[in-house]
């Protein structure tokens, strides 16, 4: 069976991720196939909308398939990972800018690369099992695949909190933070998808939506807004340590597991992208500055070793938690010059 099924069914372009045993992890080839389908369907009048879903109950897509990135990076070959990220980000932009409705059904885990496929459409559906997160700082990356823009647009200081902690969002919190739009019971999804395939009528999603449950992040908004106003990582850590509340201590424990350089850059990126000027392309271009350098200059390979390869959960980050040099942040996010991520081929 193929890792992905791409077809036209009725009035819809259909994309189904088919790697349930791997939590539908997104491979490089899957990215390219999705991008090719979007190009083909944009001007196909038969396709009224796109519907994206995934097999299995555990995950829509728990992230990118990073094994080959690790293997090539450890061999001193950074070009494969750079090419993967470059082409994935171009696909993310195409999804975000797609001129027809795009509905995604996000059961279980939707993380990292899964956010890039499932959270840029116009009709993002979650249910009771949905668990969405941007946990990249835990492996020495930054929130990417366009997730940095969603974080920057999240209300209050949720972006800084979610980006640095990797906190998981249930359906209500995902909608609050801007990663999803509709809460619909999952047992009704198959019938709803069949209706969409038959009619291409995306308003059926609005009709089926219910009021989402209130999640723990929504309940903690006052604390998050108060404690995540700092300009830099060190400022936020100091506020959390000074506060000393149960929430602050739990948050510090979450952040202590993540790469300090990644968290510092994630905060800087969120601040740069906040406001009306930022676009999906400017966000992806900023993300690519970091990921292009991630294997050689950041903690990515060590993060993958600790989390995926050796699974010892004791990464040796290059900077102490409270002593990330501002120069290191600037160097990771400075323009790439001729290696800059571009989208010229995205324009018809």
Instruction: Name the pTM for this structure.
Output: 0.96
Please give the structure tokens belonging to residue 336.
């790439």
* Whether pLDDT at 276 is above 90: no
Query: Per-residue pLDDT tens for 290-316?
Result: 999 999 999 999 999 999 899 999 999
* Cα–Cα distance, 191 to 158 (Å, whole number): 34
Domain of residue 133, residue span: 4-346
Query: Per-residue pLDDT tens for 202-240?
Result: 999 999 999 999 999 999 999 999 999 999 999 999 999
Mean pLDDT score of the chain, rounded to an integer? 96
CB 58 within 8 A of CB 108: yes
pLDDT at 227: 98
CA angle at residue 115 from 112 to 121, to 5 degrees?
165
* Cα–Cα distance, 137 to 98 (Å, whole number): 29
Please give the tally of structural domains in the chain: 1
* Cα–Cα distance, 63 to 339 (Å, whole number): 25
pLDDT bin (cut points 50, 70, 90) of residue 347 is very low
pLDDT bin (cut points 50, 70, 90) of residue 94 is very high
> CA end-to-end span of the chain, whole Å?
33
Query: Per-residue pLDDT tens for 312-340?
Result: 999 999 999 989 999 999 999 999 999 99
Considering only 66-75, 145-154, 232-241, which range has the smallest mean pLDDT?
Answer: 66-75
Q: What is the CATH number of the domain that holds 72?
A: 3.90.226.10
Cβ-Cβ contacts under 8 Å for 114 (sequence gap 6 or more) = 24, 26, 59, 60, 61, 62, 63, 106
Return the C-alpha torsion angle 141, 341, 41, 125, nearest 10: 30
């Amino acid at each position: 069976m193929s890792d992905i099924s791409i077809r036209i069914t009725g009035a819809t372009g259909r994309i189904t991720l088919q790697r349930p045993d791997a939590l539908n992890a997104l491979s490089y080839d899957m990215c390219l196939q999705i991008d090719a389908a979007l190009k083909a369907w944009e001007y196909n009048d038969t396709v009224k909308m796109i519907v994206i879903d995934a097999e299995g109950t555990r995950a829509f897509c728990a992230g990118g398939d990073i094994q080959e990135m690790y293997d090539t990076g450890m061999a001193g070959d950074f070009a494969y990972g750079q090419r993967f990220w470059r082409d994935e980000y171009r696909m993310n932009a195409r999804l975000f800018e797609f001129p027809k409705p795009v509905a995604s059904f996000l059961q279980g885990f939707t993380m990292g690369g899964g956010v890039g496929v499932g959270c840029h459409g116009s009709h993002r559906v979650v249910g009771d099992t949905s668990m969405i997160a941007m946990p990249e700082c835990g492996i020495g990356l930054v929130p990417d695949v366009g997730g940095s823009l969603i974080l920057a647009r999240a209300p209050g200081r949720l972006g800084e909190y979610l980006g640095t902690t990797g906190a998981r969002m249930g359906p209500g919190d995902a909608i609050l933070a801007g990663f999803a739009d509709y809460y619909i019971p999952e047992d009704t999804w198959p019938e709803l998808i069949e209706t969409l395939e038959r009619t291409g009528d995306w308003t059926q999603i609005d009709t089926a939506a219910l009021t989402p449950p209130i999640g723990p992040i929504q309940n903690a908004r006052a604390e998050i807004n108060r404690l995540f106003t700092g300009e830099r990582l060190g400022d936020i850590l100091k506020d959390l340590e000074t506060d000393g509340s149960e929430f602050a201590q739990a948050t510090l424990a979450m952040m202590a597991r993540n790469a300090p350089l990644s968290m510092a850059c994630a905060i800087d990126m969120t601040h740069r992208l906040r406001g009306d000027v930022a676009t999906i392309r400017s966000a992806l271009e900023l993300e690519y500055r970091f990921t292009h350098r991630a294997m050689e200059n950041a903690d990515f390979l060590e993060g993958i070793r600790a989390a995926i390869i050796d699974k010892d959960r004791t990464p040796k980050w290059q900077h102490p938690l409270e002593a990330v040099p501002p120069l290191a942040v600037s160097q990771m996010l400075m323009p790439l010059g001729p290696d800059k991520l571009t989208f010229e081929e995205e324009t018809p």
